[in-house]
Structure 1
């Protein structure tokens, strides 16, 4: 039968806002795939213009980051069949069992796509930490060093548009993971974390939850897929700050496209803090951006 869904569908609809307000933070928000591609292109452009202090001519700029972003955005289609491992042949005799198996395949396909996208986003995030905070005072594993960086630069990092609310969305989708929620609350208290360090810590704890096999295939709901995408979106915003802090002269304009002169340019810091929105939401710091309402 023709497949009636795409495995990547939850990436487009994980944010479900029906407030109808013209200044809602979701208005103009790029789809996650487009956001990932926009960040990839921004890093390439900044590298081409030699805007990184550590840039070496001929090398890919921020290699581990762009490789992860490229792969995260590349997924077109995927099919997963968890019934392959089962010896139950009831589907051959019962239409209800066949329909149940089809539902299982759909959820498994969507979950696998979300997990792949998240894993590559995480790979890009760890690479961004390694490149951005190298030779600095932070210690521990890469995710811990990232958390320390965001704690010390909270004011600047919070200037990435909508990071506070996107953190709250990711936290909302992780609310049923009690171990993650409890550990996050404990870390916020222990390390005196404010946003965005709390966002970095949520990402670290959620990744540990995933990599240690604590997240089974969904059976009834797409919500596990949505939380993977919600945390992945948050990771992209954290990467944007990690890239921005390594720029030479962030106030200087950058071309918004390597191949389309008609797109124009904007200050690099404005671009990196807003590239997850469509241009009309932030070009030249329009009033609608400055007064955006967050729930």
Structure 2
């Protein structure tokens, strides 16, 4: 294995791990189709711009068309072709074994606007982690470099589809993490919380987020109806929006605390579990 990664052992994949990895595989295939769709949109934009430019030559100077229009068409074509090739005529397949890998886990931080995300690797292999999971604290605990880590993974291989004139070739190999001691235990988590636990978790987060945004938006419109909105100082509107967000966040926090209090009154032994505890199989 490249990149200083050693394959320690292989074992049969468990039923819950297979369910989870198939869910990730579906997301991977959706990702490939999304690349094709986005690429097609950019290519369509390039195609629609061409007649616009040809028609515009009679109304604008040729120099303007050459300096602005042609580069814009070229850029749309270049971006569309580049993005589309990421998913065009490619297929993703799962391995049927669980491999135990050992090596240093590293990560790269990506900044897109105000959002931040991490991409993790073991050697030169990309790791696919469960939703809302980060290993930054784990891998950064070592003072002299990145921590040597042993984890169980199932590989997804993305390859070009085979054609009559050529053989399919593996273009990318990713590792779906199914076990990392004290952090991730997919089999136990799905056994205790159901095979669709991660789907329910993502839907619940999405639902709560949409609900909070809707409540905040309705509250803002109630305080500032349309006729008043145009007459209000923008700085005051910004302050009102920030206050609205704070009130909604505080309300969600108090509702959660109230729920836990009521549950503990009904059952004194009730103790809420965190997402990290459920993911690791401890609760």
Measured against the shorter chain, the TM-score band is under 0.3
> Which of the pair has the greater relative contact order for Cα pairs under 8 Å at 6+ separation?
1
Higher percent of residues as strand: 2
Higher helix share goes to which structure?
A: 1
Q: State TM-score, norm by structure 1.
A: 0.22
